Amino acid sequence: MRDFFHEDQLVAVLTTQPLDRLLDYRAPEGGCFLGAFVEVPLGPRKVLGVVWGAGKGDFDRAKIRPITRVLDAPPMREEMQDFLTRAGAYTLTPMTQMLRLATRAPGLGDPPSMRRIYRLGQGVPDRMTEARARVLEVLRDYGGLAFTLGELAEMAGVSSSVIKGLVKQGAVAEEDSPRDLPFAPLDPDYGGKALTPAQAEGAERLRAGVQSGRYGTTLLRGVTGSGKTEVYLEAVAECLRKGRQALVLLPEIALTQEFVARVEARFGARPAEWHSGVTMTERRRTWKMVATGGAQLVVGARSALFLPYRDLGLIVVDEEHDTSYKQEEGVLYNARDMAVLRASICGARVVLASATPSLESWANAEAGKYEKLVLGDRFGDSVLPDMRAIDMRAEKLPGDRWVSPTLQAAVQARVDAGEQALLFINRRGYAPITLCRACGHQVGCDHCDARMVEHRFLKRLVCHQCGETRPMPEKCPACDAEDRLAPVGPGVERLSEEAQALFPDARIATLSSDMFGSARALKEQIAAIAAGEADIIIGTQLVAKGHNFPLLTLVGVIDADLGLQGSDLRAAERTFQLMRQVAGRAGRAEKRGVAMLQTFQPEHPVIRAILAGDEEGFWRAEAAERQQAGVPPYGRMAGVVISSPDAQVAFDIGTQLARADGPLRQIGAQVFGPAPAPIARIRGRHRVRLLVKAGKGVALQGAMRAWVGQLRLPAQARLAVDIDPQSF
Ligand code: ADP
Ligand code: ZN
């Protein structure tokens, strides 16, 4: 039985306010449970909090105020308190900030009154106005989801009377809130496929893990198309049979729709979704259903880890190597690592699925910390693409063209055969550099240490670091020369232009994130491509992630060397993963695909490993290098980023911190820097970084806290700790 506090008993409450301690309150009339979500007075305001434990009472008792009210939500489970505490300790994040991650459900504090909600109706309005059309468009856009009156009015940009008018005519349906309706039940035995022997064996091992009801992590490796998803859906099925909840994390919202459709085909109903594209009303319902167990399966982004599961039995992290699992703003956490932590607390299984695992996960599997599961061949007759290099030193190509004659001929052959070809370039926009031909000036961002990138599609210059945009200037900002600004280098839009010139008769589809106003438009484009409505696909990283294009038989990588530049120790790993991922798009159906990599350094060890398809060899070599350098996963690292509007101030603080390294020396750790951070200036703030390198088994967090805690920051300066930074 959960701890209960009777009226007037002292309780300690954790709030989402930036305070560094728990606050004492008196339990309200009727008492409250440990973990209850409550509203408490703080100064003149009322704030959200959670009853975290018994109060200390080391304060004048008469002055302690009572909790204002207990909110209509299931209390936070002790297991969740434990998870937040340990995740906060690991990432050195204050608890108040951790709590905010767990209370992202808007309207959590609503009184339990019935609300009216609105969805698409059957009727047709007698007269269509622009405002009415917008309302119906929003409802159609969100396919079947319901909104409250206020939400719908805001999203459509209309007054609520417009919506009421549509309700009268039956074009919009008004209903009572479905907040407490469960999701349609999933049937674990609904639509299972006949698995190949290798898949069946894999599924059996995952099922056994789920049956054990104990924590454990499995690294599920297998090339794209080998059936990893089919196999882990069997683990989900087993979890559902046991009556426990399952969570599948995807790295990219664009992948959700395809995945939800697969879940529906497999289990006969849709899962709950949790990502930035989900409406407020739906979130409210989902949050509650997850807490009561009414949602059996959640598909979502990394923030879905912080939902209040009643009994979580399985977490799948699909494409576990994907860098978007690392949250880079606010609380800096890696969802893959937090999934393992959460599972170990609640006795759940973890499946990390990838064709190209992160070196961390590979090493954990090698060391026996994770179970290894490898799926061999692709499903059906298809095999891995044939990998070839195009040595760009031997190709005759004018300076402003990027598709080599060899690649051009290969693409043309596919188009002629009625197949699809993909040209991949990992750069958004038209050209990475805008250069003045008169004075040599390169247009840069005013706020960041970055070049402005021309986006012809948007007709603007865009800073990829801070998002700042401005119209394309007519004159050079440095020398005022007119009409002398020229694009230098290729971006996806420019490549698209080149392809149109090279293949005038082909249907060309360009996929880049900023060319789509909505997730829905992107989804439609992807579906159209999969259905064969394009001959040539031009794409950025967006296409590398898991979409199924059955007609695609050729992948051409425009610049395979791009990721190998720079001094980042993870560059090789990233390039290896990305190239294999992209190449894996080719030949998913019955036809063997070809991947061609344009490179100026075909003898580079990473390029050679990619071409040879030698995964184990690549990882071994990479692991040896990391071991030598004493960096993750064979050592520990942490970053500290200090930012200030004044570069000198940031450097001075950094230098001061580097000198005060006593607490770090005690654990044998070294400090490097201060040096300009990987993003040296962003939104007008200068950033310097210190890197800390320590041995594998040391108490890094404690030392970091002591080290950083000595510092008194001047008003304008900020400091952020990043445990396990992505780049080092
Ligand atoms: P991965 O997740 O490894 O990329 P998927 O599970 O998506 O692989 O499988 C690739 C394609 O092959 C999918 O369209 C999937 O439905 C199909 N497939 C895989 N295994 C089977 C099977 N045993 N029976 C029928 N179709 C399968
Ligand atoms: Zn900028």
User: Over 470-490, what HEC string results?
Assistant: EECCCECCCCCCECCEEEECC
Q: What is the DSSP letter of 76?
A: P
Q: Which residues have CB atoms below 5 A from the ion given as ligand 2?
A: 445, 447-448, 463, 465-466, 468
CB atoms within 10 A of CB 268: 15
Q: Determine if ligand 1 sits within 6 Å of the CB of residue 581.
A: no
pLDDT tier at 377, thresholds 50, 70, 90: low
Q: Which H, E and C letters describe 534-579, residue by residue?
A: CCEEEECHHHHCCCCCCCEEEEEECCCCHHHCCCCCCHHHHHHHHH
Q: Which residue has the tokens 């789509």?
A: 516
Res 516: pLDDT: 65
Task: Determine whether the shortest distance from the Cβ of 224 to ligand 1 is under 6 A.
Answer: yes
pLDDT of residue 16: 85
Name the CA dihedral angle for 561, 566, 668, 84, rounded to a multiple of 10 degrees: -80
Instruction: Give 193 Cα–ligand 1 centroid separation in angstroms.
Output: 9
Which is more confidently placed, 177 or 332? 332
Q: What confidence category does residue 114 fall into, taking pLDDT thresholds of 50, 70 and 90? A: very low
What are 519's two structure tokens? 């997730």
Atom of ligand 1 nearest to the CA of 230: 6
Q: What is the ipTM of this complex?
A: 0.96
Whose Cα sits closest to atom 19 in ligand 1? 227
Summarize the confidence of residues 700-721 as an average pLDDT. 90
Helix intervals (H) in 590-683: 605-612, 615-629, 647-659, 662-665
**Among 52-66, 129-143, 185-199, 373-387, which range has the highest average pLDDT?**
185-199
Dihedral sign from CA coordinates of 361, 362, 367, 371: positive
Nearest atom, ligand 1, residue 199 CA: 23
Q: Which of 81-90, 535-544, 582-591 has the largest mean confidence?
A: 81-90
Q: Using CA atoms, how far apart are residues 273 and 533, in angstroms rounded to an integer?
A: 29
Higher pLDDT, 545 or 700: 700
Tell me what pLDDT residue 607 has.
87
Q: How far is the CA of 25 from the centre of ligand 1 (A)?
A: 55
Residue count of the chain, please give it. Answer: 728
**348 contacts 245 by C-beta, under 8 angstroms:** no
What ligand is nearest to the CA atom of residue 446?
2
**E strands of 330-488, at which residues?**
349-354, 371-375, 386-391, 420-424, 433-436, 452-455, 460-463, 469-471, 485-488
Q: Which two tokens stand for residue 427?
A: 């750069």
Is any ligand 1 atom within 6 A of the Cβ of residue 225?
Answer: yes
pLDDT at 383 over 90: no
Alpha-carbon distance 548 to 424, whole Å? 16
Four-residue CA torsion sign, 552, 555, 558, 561 = positive
Q: CA 314, CA 272: separation in Å to the nearest integer? A: 15
- The ligand whose atoms approach the alpha carbon of 447 most closely is 2
Q: Which atom of ligand 1 lies closest to the CA of 584? A: 4
Of 195, 201, 223, 230, best ligand 1 pocket probe by most atoms within 8 Å of the beta carbon: 230
Is residue 532 within 8 Å of residue 383, measured between CB atoms?
no
Nearest ligand to the C-alpha of residue 467?
2
- Judge if the beta carbon of residue 21 lies within 6 A of ligand 1: no
Q: How far is the CA of 427 from the centre of ligand 2 (A)?
A: 16
What's the 363 CA to ligand 1 centre distance in angstroms? Answer: 27
Write down the pLDDT at residue 543.
76
Q: Whose CA is nearest to atom 9 of ligand 1?
A: 227
Counting ligands in written order, the one closest to the CA of 464 is 2
CA distance 15 to 37: 10
Residue 716 CA to ligand 2 center (angstroms) comes to 19
> Is it the case that residue 113 has pLDDT exceeding 50?
no
Distance CA 585, CA 422 (A): 9
Asked if residue 507 has pLDDT above 60, the reply is yes
Whether the pLDDT of residue 351 is over 80: the answer is yes
| Average pLDDT, rounded, for the chain | 87
171: exposed, middle or buried (Cβ count in 10 Å: 0-12, 13-18, 19+): buried
Tell me the C-alpha distance between 261 and 689, whole Å: 44
pLDDT of residue 590: 65
What pLDDT does 503 receive?
96
Q: What is the mean pLDDT of residues 160-184?
A: 79
Tokens 């900023």 found at: 514
Nearest bound ligand to the CA of residue 681: 2
Q: Ligand 1 within 6 A of 379 CB?
A: yes
How many CB atoms are closer than 10 A to CB 160? Answer: 13
Give the lowest-confidence range in 284-288, 543-547, 551-555: 543-547
Report pTM: 0.80
For residue 112, the model assigns a pLDDT of 37
382 lines ligand 1 (CB under 6 A): no
Q: Residue 296: what pLDDT?
A: 95
